[in-house]
Amino acid sequence: MKLYRIKLLILAILASAVFVQCDDDENGNVIVQESCDDGIQNGDEQGIDCGGSSCEPCIGAFDFSGTFVQEDIMGRPGVNTVFSGSDNVKNMFNVSLVNDRASFQPTFEETLEDYHDVYGDALMTTIDYETNILGLDAPTFTTVLAQFDALQVAPDGQTTYYDPTTGAVLTGRTLSDDVIDISLTLMFGGTSGTRFDGNNGTPQLTSDGVDSGDRDFSLPFPYLENPIQE
């Protein structure tokens, strides 16, 4: 090897040593503490500077491809549970479209009348559904339930399933709304809302007798209480 080449080699080795030294100097430490802005995936990060126990969740690091097919659906509370009647209809309801449910209306009306018949039979008289406090007869009421099964949500003004103190109705559903008593009243309350309210020897069919108990609905976002722990 010629002398100048040896000199070049020594120079190169020295230069690389200097670079390494510089690198060490800049970090102050050869072992870099992982952080959420160091530009590399380290620690328990799931991507570069994201995910894991200390960084923000990763965006764009995951596969979101594929087709997702409906298995359950819900608009108003209790509709499928209460009105579909049979397991088969319930399963069909859950895989149907909101705007394609005309075929469910006759079943819903039949189920509504069946519930009344149970009490007609027990009292040995004839009991049919009576037009409810919203002025809806059986075909119209069950059409609204079957074919327009969504929560109506008003962007302006009070949002509630029904608030007896203000009269607002079908403008949303709050956590505290007693949707069971409201639904029972619409089903069994008749035009007065008190048709079968347990008074005057009538069955109690317009209230299930429970309220929200010790639940706290005054919390900030997400508005829900911590889970009950053992």
Partner 1 sequence: MKKTKLFAAIAGAGLLVLSGVFVAADHIDAPAVAGTTTDIADLFAFEGDNPNNTVLIATLQGPLVPGTITENASFDEDVMVEFNIDNTGDFIEDLVIQAVKRGDSMYFFGPAQPAQTGLSSEVATFAERTAVKISTIDDVQTTTNNGMSFFAGPRRDPFYFDFNRFNGVISGSVAPDGFLPPGEATDFFEGLNVLAIAVEIPNSMLGSAPTHVGEAVGISNLPPAYNVWVSAKRKQ
By CB under 8 A, the residues from 38 to 57 that bind partner 1 are 46, 51, 56-57
DSSP string for 94-129: HTS-TT--GGGHHHHHHHHHHHHHHHHHHTTS----
Which range touches partner 1 (CB under 8 A), out of 1-9, 24-32, 34-42, 195-203? 195-203
Among the listed ranges 4-12, 13-21, 32-40, 92-100, the one in contact with partner 1 (CB under 8 A) is 92-100
Within residues 107-146, the interface with partner 1 by CB under 8 A covers: 110, 113-123, 126-128, 134-136, 140, 143-144
Structural tokens at position 134: 């919203």
Per-residue tokens: 187: 């089903």
- For the CB of residue 132, give the shortest distance to partner 1 in the complex, in Å: 11
Sign of the C-alpha dihedral computed for residues 166, 169, 175 and 179 taken in this order:
positive
d(CA 220, CA 117): 45
Site string for partner 1, 1-40 (x = CB under 8 A): ----------------------------------------
Can you say whether the dihedral through the CA atoms of 140, 141, 146, 149 is positive or negative? positive
SS3 145: helix
Binding track, positions 52-81, relative to partner 1; x by CB under 8 A: ----xxxx-xx-xxxxxxxxxxxx-xx-xx
H or E element that contains 8: helix 3-27
Select the span of 11-19, 23-31, 35-43, 83-91 touching partner 1 (CB under 8 A). Answer: 83-91
Q: Shortest distance, CB of residue 161 to partner 1, whole angstroms?
A: 9
Tell which one of 156, 165, 199, 200 touches partner 1 (CB under 8 A). 156
Q: Is 192 in the site for partner 1 (CB under 8 A)?
A: no
Q: Of all helices (H) and strands (E), which one includes residue 91? A: helix 87-94
* Nearer CB in complex with partner 1: 38/77: 77
Cα–Cα separations (whole angstroms), residue 226 to 78, 215, 216, 219: 24, 10, 10, 10
Give the span between the Cα atoms of 213 and 119, in whole angstroms.
29
Given candidates 16, 21, 158, 192, which one binds partner 1 under the rule CB under 8 A?
Answer: 158
Given 87, 165, 199, 200, the residue binding partner 1 (CB under 8 A) = 87
Largest CA distance in the chain: 120
Range in contact with partner 1 (rule: CB under 8 A) among 1-9, 17-25, 35-43, 156-164: 156-164
* DSSP category for residue 228: P
